[in-house]
Amino acid sequence: MATVPVKVKHNGKVYDISLDTNGTGLAFKEAIAQATSVPTDRQKVMIKGGLLKDDTEISKLNVRAGHQFMVLGAAGELPKAPAKPVQFLEDMQDEELNKAANLRVGLVNLGNTCYLNSTLQVLRTIPPLQEALSAYTGRVGASDGDATLVASMRDLFSDMSKTTEAVPPLIFLTVLRKLAPQFAETAEGGGFAQQDAEEVWVRIMQALSQLPAAGQPREKFVPQYVTGHMTIERSCAETSDEAPTHLEEPFQMLQCNISSSTNEMTAGILESMTQQLEKHSDQLGRTALYNEKRRISRLPAYLSVHFVRFYWRRDINKKTKIMRKVKFPMELDASTFVTDDLARRLAPVSAKIKAIGKDREERAKLRARVQGRSMEAGAVEGGALTDEEEVAQRAKEREQVDALIDADLRSDAGCNPSGLYELVGIVTHKGAAADAGHYMSWVRQEDTSQPLPPPASMWYKFDDDKVSLVPTEKIETLYGGGEDSVAYILLYRAKAL
């Protein structure tokens, strides 16, 4: 057998192979497969004038020692037959179809209940809440009203996962109105009155406060996943002889104040955290002016922000809506709002996640350029990683981030150890009247079934029973500035790799 030493380049690597000059193209491909793990039927071997065919006689190629061949094709085994018989969508039951297509269903408006429907749709995007509700064994009809509300919420979410049709939240609404009569108020013209989404959000969280966290019977869902801690310093503005006071209190929602100069959310939140108030001074023996500064000492995994758009106007004795345009970020760095000590603990993880994010963007651009060429799926070249290599690289990156997490934050299940968040849900209000108008919700569409999920580019829009998909660009129209839908409550989730 006459052979010559040649080189084969695949996926940025070069392999030394002995080429049988009396053999066929298929025999050469088998040798390439041994070196690169690319099956012969996936290989595209570039030769002068085209591609190497299986029956090509190597002797006719006049290959010289040291010649380099370029090979395209994805390494690995060929796809295996499905373990279960293929089931078509039209043959599925509603529950199977809901899961297979990752469907989101709407909620029926039962008479000015859009405030409730929009709130429930956003809360349903919190996986730890769904897990805790699934594990909850309480029953509807229990003597404890909060327990009954939690049980009805569990049953409602379960019903929503088993159908492709809009669900009427009748039992949940009935329990809520019995537990909190304000939501049973009637309008002047008859029927139930419109209510405030922020108020029902707070009341639902109150009921959930005793819900055990899934897999952590000694811990509660609300304190673990949606509650932060705030340190408060108050100092008298009228005398330096009085020592500042310090206290800590929990919070479940940040307030974004909106003034005539507020243009973006961060400024509104900081304004709410730095205020002046009047209270009695023991030092002065009278009411005095105090400076109050709040900073966060614990960040929860799920952070909600309330845009304070409704306020009471004393001059007209009426609740009024602030229409001003206020921008909000798709990704939030909450280190601006935290104590110096927490900022120090968050910094290493935050910096690493940001750096990895930039690296992933560059790798994604390279993969997009390469895969956009006329090659079969999975083929890469020019330094781009294969799917398997990208998955392995991301696993290494997660390990790198995990190694940087502060020990105290690591032991605090349900906190955010980086201070970085991504927007996942929005409740909006449409209309100029504070006691009327219409609420809707918007939830980011995500595909968690793939090892390399694509970037989120679409959002679910929930308008009671009507559900549609809108592009991410539509979210920017929710900043406000008119009578159309404006952001009222935002839900951010701790950013994960």
Domain boundary assignment for the chain: 3-72, 102-371+389-496
**How far apart are alpha carbons 173 and 185 in whole angstroms?**
13
Instruction: Note the pLDDT tens digit of each residue in 18-65.
Output: 999 889 999 999 999 999 888 888 888 888 777 889 998 988 888 888
What percent of the chain has a predicted confidence (pLDDT) above 90? 67
Banded pLDDT at 101 (limits 50, 70, 90): very low
Q: C-alpha distances in angstroms, 403 versus 398, 409, 456?
A: 9, 12, 27
- The tokens of 344 are what? 């120090």
- The tokens of 335 are what? 């280190």
Q: Do domains 3-72 and 102-371+389-496 have the same CATH topology?
A: no
User: Parallel, antiparallel, or unpaired: how do β-strands 302-307 and 254-256 relate?
Assistant: parallel
- The tokens of 267 are what? 């400024």
Q: What is the signed CA dihedral for 26, 32, 37, 38, rounded to 10 degrees? A: -60
Residues in the chain: 497
* pLDDT, mean over the chain: 89
Banded pLDDT at 97 (limits 50, 70, 90): very low
**How far apart are alpha carbons 63 and 75 in whole angstroms?**
25
User: Does 126 score more than 90 pLDDT?
Assistant: yes
Contacts 24+ apart (CB under 8 A), 31-39: 32/8, 32/69, 32/71, 35/8, 36/8, 36/10, 36/11, 36/71, 36/73, 36/75, 37/75, 37/76, 38/10, 38/71, 38/73, 38/74, 38/75, 39/73, 39/77, 39/78
* The Cα angle at residue 323 between residues 319 and 328, in degrees rounded to 5: 120
User: Does 458 score more than 90 pLDDT?
Assistant: yes
Say if residues 207 and 214 touch (Cβ distance below 8 Å).
no
Q: Give catalytic residue positions.
A: 114, 438
* The Cα angle at residue 91 between residues 87 and 93, in degrees rounded to 5: 105
Which stretches of 323-432 are assigned E, i.e. beta strand? Answer: 331-333, 420-430
Instruction: Note the pLDDT tens digit of each residue in 143-196.
Output: 899 999 999 999 999 999 999 999 999 999 999 999 999 999 998 888 899 999
User: Does 349 score more than 60 pLDDT?
Assistant: yes
CATH architecture assigned to 102-371+389-496 = Alpha-Beta Complex (3.90)
Q: Which residues pair with 345 in a beta bridge?
A: none
Contacts of 47 (CB under 8 A, 6+ apart): 56, 61, 69
**How far apart are alpha carbons 292 and 270 in whole angstroms?**
12
User: Parallel, antiparallel, or unpaired: how do β-strands 216-220 and 212-213 relate?
Assistant: antiparallel
DSSP string over 99-161: HHTT----B---SS-HHHHHHHHHHTT-HHHHHHHHH----TT-SSHHHHHHHHHHHHHHHHT
Say if residues 191 and 111 touch (Cβ distance below 8 Å).
yes
User: Does 287 score more than 80 pLDDT?
Assistant: yes
The residue type of 110 is L
Q: What's the pTM?
A: 0.79
Count other C-beta atoms under 10 Å from residue 370's C-beta: 16
User: Does 473 score more than 80 pLDDT?
Assistant: yes
CATH architecture assigned to 3-72 = Roll (3.10)
